[in-house]
Chains A and B, each alone.
Chain A
Amino acid sequence: MAKRVLLIEDEPNIIEAISFILSRDGWTVHTHADGETAMTKVRATPPDLIILDVMLPGRSGFDILRDLRADPETQATPVMMLTARGQAKDRELATRLGASQFMTKPFSNAKVRDTVRALMDA
């Protein structure tokens, strides 16, 4: 059975591109575009890995990450953060909150694919 990736991102064309890349790599990709209801989505269909944008409507990716790590059901789920802000303090915050990886936009497709593979193999 294909591993499930949940992509929480609000930009439609980025969603489409990442979904395409990961689907071709054998992943089942679910997507969600709203920060406010992201945790509901996670709990409804627990993924094997989460790709989480920082800037989301309703709620920030950092807030969602904090909830993910506080929930016993998801605290061990690998989370790769995406952000358009590459500031050191954002990276530091993501690390402190328990992000597995932190990727700055614009990223290469190969790097996204390879990082997802590495996180699942870890």
Chain B
Amino acid sequence: MVVDGIAGSRIRERRIDKGIRQATLAATLGISAPYLNLIEHNRRRIAGDLLAQAAAALDVPVDQLSSGVDVSLLDQLRSAAADMAITAETVRAEDLAVRFPGWSDLIVHQAARIASLQDRVQVLTDRMTYDPELAGSLHQVITAVTAVRSAASILVGGETIDADWQARFHRNIYDDSVRLAASSEALIQYLDTPDAEGASHMAPIDEVEAALDAYGFHIPDLEAGQSKPLDRVLSEMAMSSPMALDLMSRFLHQYAADAAAMPLPAFADAARTNGHDPAALVRAFAVPFEAVLRRLASLPVGEDHPAMGLAVADASGALVLNKQVRGFALPRAGAGCPLWPVFTAFARPDQPLRVPVVLPDTTTQRFLCYAIAVPIGQASFDAPPILRSTMLVIPDAADDGAAATQAGVSCRICPRADCVARREQSTMTASAL
């Protein structure tokens, strides 16, 4: 999806590059200089003959002025601005993207890098704070050090101490030193393990998604008729930690089960025939709705299959799997827009949803989302069901007249001031957008 409202920025850029004064160009085009100024700041649209005249005056092809900028780049620039505690000129994000695409990419990549490092810090902080094994080891070390220090201080304090007490404190120091050595060794071994095994600095789920993304979430070796054992596929994924390996193993087992229930050639044909309508595919293959959503997201792009995103969330709102697709990028945990069907489905367990979603940008990008929340695990009389929600996201969906949910990415970069779901103020005022 591209934004086409930035022709003005390109006219301005080209005019300045050629050293043409604004008034001169305005006269050439037969419009007033103030009106050209509005155009150049994208406050008036330019198209048709006037655009063609401007292109001619500036000696560039028309499409070089009118071709847009990727809306996802704009979103990422705005997100980068919103993540900083400083006020940025978000109103000029389009200008920036058009005039300095290289610098824009740098900002986006740096913002992603910062986010990745922040995630890493959070993982390590959580580990330091909540990891019971680490906390227990540290406590043992500190306790032993405290005891050794106190006993040693008494012995070297210069005051007369009975022989019995001296012997007792010597024994205590020896015992505590043995305990300290053991605790320290265990602690070092525990802390060294990830690096020694070459653990990734990504969170396990990020590592899994990055590996799957390299395949486009389509694993040919697990399709029916392929002979490669699942364990070998898992091994080739080269996960760097036991946690990532476990997550990947669970994903691949589910993938293989879905592939067996919905063999690729027949499923792909049926998907094309039915316009990728999950309900029709549920009927055709007699499988659960969420399985069809997963299977659609695993189809290889092309061959009349659109790129489709997938989000799987637990009831806390955390995304346990997230296949991003152009224009759709929810945050991993907690800060996403709650209006996406992957979250609203929790209010209606077992009921499939079909919801168009529109983002709050100038392009009004429209997604078609299918979602369902279903219980996982065994049913019990003694505990409420544990729900998991699955959502398929099809971008660039045609407007079929159905009312669309006015969603966003997260409150911080969303301009919908009157949204009842808003939980915090946006860092981008309406005027900034």
- Count of chain A residues with Cβ under 8 Å from any Cβ of B? 18
Judge if A13 is at the interface, Cβ distance under 8 Å.
Answer: yes
Q: Which residues of the partner chain B approach A84 to less than 8 Å between Cβ atoms? A: 138-139, 142-143, 146
Q: Is the CB of B168 within 8 A of A16?
A: yes
A119 adjacent to chain B (CB < 8 Å): no
A18 touching B150, Cβ below 8 Å:
yes
Residue B40 at the chain A interface, CB threshold 8 Å:
no
If over half of A's interface residues share one DSSP class (helix, strand or loop), that class is named, otherwise mixed; here it is: helix
> Assuming the A-B contacts A20-B165, A84-B143, are A13 and B154 also in contact, with contact meaning beta carbons closer than 8 angstroms in the complex?
no
Known A-B contacts A21-B154, A84-B138; A16 and B172 likewise in contact (beta carbons under 8 Å): yes
With A16-B168, A16-B172, A84-B138 in contact, is A21–B146 under 8 Å at CB? no
Interchain CB contact under 8 A, B146 and A105:
yes
Contact residues, A12-31 vs B (CB, 8 A): 13-14, 16-18, 20-21, 24
Bound-complex Cα distance A13 to B174 (A): 11
Residue B95 at the chain A interface, CB threshold 8 Å:
no
B139 CB contacts on chain A under 8 angstroms = 55, 84-85
Q: A108 to B154, Cβ gap below 8 A?
A: no
Contact between B159 and A13, CB atoms less than 8 A apart: no
Which of A13, A20, A105 gathers most chain B CB within 10 Å? A13
A47 to B172, CA, bound (A): 27
B147 at the interface (CB under 8 A from A): yes
**Complex interface bits, B228-260 against A, C-beta within 8 A gives 1, otherwise 0:** 000000000000000000000000000000000
Query: Residue-by-residue, is A102-114 near B (CB-CB < 8 Å gives 1, otherwise 0)?
Result: 0001111110000
A80 vs B147: C-alpha distance when bound (angstroms):
18
**Chain B 303-326 residues near chain A, CB threshold 8 A:** none
Residue in B138, B147, B169, B175 whose CB lies within 8 Å of A14: B147
Whether a CB of chain A sits under 8 angstroms from the CB of B149 is yes
State whether the Cβ of A11 lies closer than 8 Å to any Cβ in chain B.
yes
Distance in Å from the Cβ of A98 to the closest Cβ of chain B?
Answer: 24
Contact partner, B143, options A11, A20, A21, A109, Cβ 8 Å: A11
| A114 → B minimal CB distance (Å) | 13
* B151 interfacial contact with A, CB 8 Å: yes
- With A16-B172, A55-B139, A84-B142 given, is the CB distance from A11 to B153 under 8 Å? no
CB distance from A16 to the nearest CB of B (A): 6
Assess the B143–A108 pair: CB atoms within 8 A.
no
Contacts known (A16-B172, A55-B139, A84-B138); A106 close to B145, Cβ less than 8 A: yes
Which residues on B sit within 8 Å (CB–CB) of A20? 154, 165, 169
Does B176 sit within 8 A of A, measured CB to CB? yes
Minimal Cβ-Cβ distance residue in B for A21: B154
In this complex, which of B139, B159, B168, B175 has the most chain A Cβ atoms within 10 angstroms of its Cβ? B139
A-facing residues in B271-303 (Cβ within 8 Å): none
Cβ B142 vs Cβ A13 within 8 A: no
Q: Closest 5 CB pairs between A and B? A: A17-B150, A13-B147, A84-B142, A106-B146, A105-B146
A-B contact pairs, 21 of them (CB 8 A): A11-B147, A13-B147, A13-B150, A13-B151, A13-B175, A13-B176, A16-B169, A16-B172, A17-B147, A21-B150, A55-B139, A84-B146, A105-B142, A105-B146, A106-B142, A106-B150, A107-B149, A107-B150, A108-B153, A109-B153, A110-B153
Give me the interface of A with B, judged by CB distance under 8 Å.
11, 13-14, 16-18, 20-21, 24, 55, 84-85, 105-110
